[in-house]
Amino acid sequence: MSITAVRAAAAAAAAGAPASLSRFRGALVAAVVGDCVGGEFEGAEEVPMESVLKHLNSLDDETKGDGILEYSDDTAMARCVVQSLLTRGGFDEQDMARRFAKEYSESPGRGYGSGVIQVLKKLSSPQLSDVYQPARNQYNGRGSFGNGGAMRAAPFALAFPDQADVKRFACSGAMLTHSCSLGYNGAVLQALAVHLSLQGALELPQQFISKLITEMEEVEGDEATRNDARILKEAEKPFCERLHRVRDLMDRSKVSIEEVISELGNGIAALHSVPTAIFCVLHCLQPRECLPENYSGLERTIAYSLALGGDTDTIACMAGAIAGAHYGITAIPQSWIKCCEGTEDADVNAERLHMLYHQSLQSSASVAGEQSHEFRAENKSNGTEKKNKAE
């Protein structure tokens, strides 16, 4: 076995079985870490890797206060998603919308996008009956294509074991603020990537990207996507087209940061950031020359995401969730966890989501069991009937 294969096997063993608690904790905590450490470079055009490593090394300083790096709107909204899913035991759009509005009114300085603020203010109105309406009114009725729906999509993958539920609820949850298909389909893609990673699908990176492309072919096959893509002058299936670019870049032995930015983007649009985050995870599955040898795959992913510049906190947050679900909690340095605000809370919530997920799995297994029992009983009685008739 090559050194890379040995390392990959060791990382997989540490993360545990598919849907293990370590993977849940890794996903939620690494998303917060990505958001917090990424804040340092948000909006920067060029970020030398040297500066990234200096920033990350500074977290090892034990005199640094706990939670010194504050989280932004990414984590604030993801927490609302988690609390809503846990309290309601599933998706409840009224409850989730109310939580978004309350969170914003209590802590408005978390760096929200300028457009989404209007939506959040309207969502706080007690007279509002259709919670999807404010988002629909954005940008001349087309809705926002920002990455705000995608940045908070990971918890949907941790709450629902069934892939169809993950897609459906990640979409509905994003539509509370982002009603353009280029916004909510980004949330579906992000949630799908976390869902697959949680199952251990990153063990086979080529199959992982192919599966995402196949799923998004279906997701982007509707009229709304075609219309939005035409108006915004994008490819017919914009996310699929970007995922093909991810696959092309993956197959190359050397790729520069400049090429990644020009092919995939690093901006606040979901289309220019979700496929980028997925690429960061795939690219960093192996050790890279520009990154320290002693870094775990998760540390490489976060560092690489920051070096792309642009919307660094959100790209690192999304890449962190996907990578965390693959490597598990032990791949995140304790010093990073300690320095980031909200990691303790994320860890506790990950455990609760893990319970909710496995409860749903068990109840669907018992329903399936009952159905197959009924089916067998029915067949048996049909069989008897036929036999009787034949007699």
Indicate the residue among 29 and 201 with the shorter CB distance to Mg ion.
29
Indicate the residue among 144 and 314 with the shorter CB distance to Mg ion.
314
Angle, to 10 degrees, between the axis of helix 238-250 and the axis of helix 205-219?
Answer: 170
SS3 46: coil
One-letter amino acid at 7 equals R
- 35 annotated as a binding-site residue: no
| Residue 115 binding: pick among ligand R7I, Mg ion, none (C-beta 5-8 Å cut-off by kind) | ligand R7I
- 330 annotated as a binding-site residue: no
Indicate the residue among 18 and 43 with the shorter CB distance to ligand R7I.
43
Chain residues binding ligand R7I by CB under 6 A are 72-74, 111, 113-116, 139, 142, 144-148, 151, 180, 268, 311, 314
> Is residue 276 within 8 Å of residue 262, measured between CB atoms?
no
Q: In the bound complex, what is the minimum distance in angstroms from residue 132's beta carbon to ligand R7I?
A: 14
| Residue 147 binding: pick among ligand R7I, Mg ion, none (C-beta 5-8 Å cut-off by kind) | ligand R7I
- 165 annotated as a binding-site residue: no
Q: Fill in the DSSP letter of residue 64.
A: S
Indicate the residue among 83 and 314 with the shorter CB distance to ligand R7I.
314
Chain residues binding Mg ion by CB under 5 A are 313-314
Q: In this chain, which residue has its C-beta nearest to Mg ion?
A: 314
| Residue 165 binding: pick among Mg ion, ligand R7I, none (C-beta 5-8 Å cut-off by kind) | none
> Is residue 225 within 8 Å of residue 213, measured between CB atoms?
no
Token pair of 383, please?
Answer: 């069989």
> Is residue 332 within 8 Å of residue 61, measured between CB atoms?
no
| Residue 113 binding: pick among ligand R7I, Mg ion, none (C-beta 5-8 Å cut-off by kind) | ligand R7I
| Residue 205 binding: pick among ligand R7I, Mg ion, none (C-beta 5-8 Å cut-off by kind) | none
Long-range contacts of 224-233 (CB under 8 A, 24+ apart): 224/181, 225/181, 225/185, 227/181, 228/142, 228/145, 228/180, 228/181, 228/182, 229/181, 229/182, 231/142, 232/145, 232/182
Q: In the bound complex, what is the minimum distance in angstroms from residue 187's beta carbon to Mg ion?
A: 14
Residue stretches of the annotated binding site for Mg(2+): 72-74, 311, 313-314
